[in-house]
Amino acid sequence: MKKILVLLSVLIMGLGCSSKNEAPKPEKPIEPAVMENILYDLALLQALKSYSPEKLEENKVNTKTYIYQKYKIDSAQFAENNRYLAFNIEEYKALFEKVTARLEKKKAEIDAIVQKEEKSKAGKVEETNAKTADSSKKIFQKLRSRKPVN
């Protein structure tokens, strides 16, 4: 009896371990470049949603619906492809590294624009301050050059 239980246990464990933990290939595969674009857009939309959710509400943008319409996919197709990629960890990791690199590049571009605008504003403030100081000097010089009224 013990031998049968041990044999049955080994058989069940063997069957459980031998089954592959893989997601089936999606019926409608999404090209890796398109999936990269989808994940990139999702990251941008999520950042916008976190930073300024009222902008999305004002423009009546539902992030998921937007992505599905833009890439002409449905939620099931995205979920199947995402699940499949999650089981292929190396491919998924490479995809996220590309998305991360694109996000970092975009951040650097935006930071450069912001920095340029800040310098421009600072220059305008200095220019305005210089003009004000110059005008003040002229006014004081005129006041000093006038003869006192008795």
Give the predicted TM-score (pTM) of the model: 0.64
Give the pLDDT confidence score for residue 148 in this predicted structure.
53
Per residue in 1-22, pLDDT (tens digit) is: 455 554 445 545 554 554 456 7
Please write the tens of the pLDDT for every residue from 20-61: 567 788 889 999 999 999 999 999 998 888 888 888 888 888
Rg of the chain in Å (alpha carbons): 32
Q: What confidence tens digit (pLDDT) does each residue in 56-107 have? A: 888 888 888 999 999 999 999 999 999 998 888 899 999 999 999 999 999 9
What is residue 93's predicted lDDT score, i.e. its pLDDT?
92
Q: Residue 1: how many CA atoms within 13 Å on its side-chain side?
A: 0
Q: What is the pLDDT of residue 19?
A: 47
DSSP 90-131: HHHHHHHHHHHHHHHHHHHHHHHHHHHHHHHHHHHHHHHHHH
The pLDDT confidence band at residue 141, using thresholds 50, 70 and 90, is low
- Higher confidence at residue 137 or residue 8? 137
pLDDT at 47: 87
